[in-house]
Amino acid sequence: MKYRHELKHEITTGDMITIRQRLRAVARADPHAVDGRYLIRSLYFDTPTDKALLEKQSGISRRSKFRIRYYNGDKSVIHLEKKCKMGGFGCKISASLTQAQAQSIVDGNIGWMEISDNELIKELHYRMVSERLGPKVIVDYTREPFIYGPGNVRVTLDYNVRTGLGNTDFLDVDCITVPAALGVCIMEVKWDEFLPEIIRDIVQLPHARTGSFSKYEACRLPTVNLSNYEF
C-alpha cells in the first residue's frame, strides 16, 4: 500500500467557484468526468456499535473504513473500496464487483466472498463475520476533479452531499436522499512526494478550515429538519 499526503478543507460555495476558476487555468479535468464533474454514490459499512464513526469523531489517527461505490448511475462498474488513514496520509485499496455481487453483499448473502480470489473481498467477508460489519448509509455527492502532473496532484471539489438515511439499497437509483451538509463544500488535495507551489497557492484560503470533514459522518448525523421535506 502506498500512502499519499491528504489535505482537506471545508469551504464555502463562493470559495469553490474561485478555486475552480484557478484550477481550470493550470490543471486538467479528470478524463472520466462528464462536463467536468461526476456523481458519486457510496454505501458505507460500519459495526453495530458504530466503530468507524466513533473512531472518526474521536480523532483516531490510524483507522479504516469500507464502502461500495459507483459513478453517474452506471451500475456496470462498481468498486469495493477500503480507505485507510494514518495521520495526514491516506491510501485506498479497491476491487471490482458485479451488480449481482454488490446486491448480495447488501442483502447479507456473503458466503461466496469467503472463497473469492480477491483478498479485499475476503477481508470484507471476515470483517462482516467477526465484527458484524454491515451496510449503514448511502452517501451521494457531486465531485469536480482536477489533475496536475508534477507531484501526481489530485484536487477534488465535492458538494451537494446527500444521505439515504436508513435506506441501504444503494443500487436503487431512485431511492430518496436528502441534504446532509447544507452549504458545505469540501476541497481535498492529494499528492505524492511534493506539492507544487503553484497548486499550494491556488488552494490556499486564509479563512478556510483545515480539518477532516467526513461525508460519512455528516450522512449518519444529518443536520436537516426532515419536517421540511415532502416524501
Q: State the chain's mean pLDDT as an integer.
A: 91
Question: Please, which residues bridge with residue 92 across strands?
Answer: 83
pLDDT at 110: 97
Span 34-48, average pLDDT: 94
CB-based burial of residue 44 (10 Å sphere; 0-12 exposed, 13-18 middle, 19+ buried)? buried
Q: What is the extent of the structural domain holding 24? A: 4-228
Half-sphere exposure of 80 (CA within 13 A, CB side): 22
User: Quick check: 230 pLDDT over 60?
Assistant: no
Whether 37 has a pLDDT exceeding 70, the answer reads yes
CB atoms within 10 A of CB 31: 7
Cβ contacts of 221 within 8 Å, gap of 6 or more:
none
- The alpha helices in the chain, defined as continuous H runs, are 13-26, 51-58, 99-107, 119-130, 197-203, 215-220
Domain count, the chain: 1
Report pLDDT for 226.
46
Q: What is the CATH number of the domain that holds 157?
A: 3.20.100.30
Tens of pLDDT, residue by residue over 63-120, are 999 999 999 999 999 999 999 999 889 999 999 999 999 999 999 999 999 999 999 9
Q: Is the pLDDT of residue 227 over 50?
A: no
Q: What is the pLDDT of residue 87?
A: 85
Q: Comparing C-alpha atoms, which of 32, 3, 30, 15 is closest to residue 149?
A: 30
pLDDT at position 192, please? 95
At residue 162, the pLDDT reads 95
Q: What is the pLDDT of residue 231?
A: 41
**Rg of the Cα atoms in the chain:** 18
Grid cell at residue 173: 437509483
**Nine cell digits for residue 214:** 467526513
Question: Quick one: pLDDT band at residue 222, thresholds 50, 70, 90?
Answer: low
pLDDT at 229: 44
Tens-place pLDDT, residues 157-189: 999 999 998 899 999 988 989 999 888 899 999
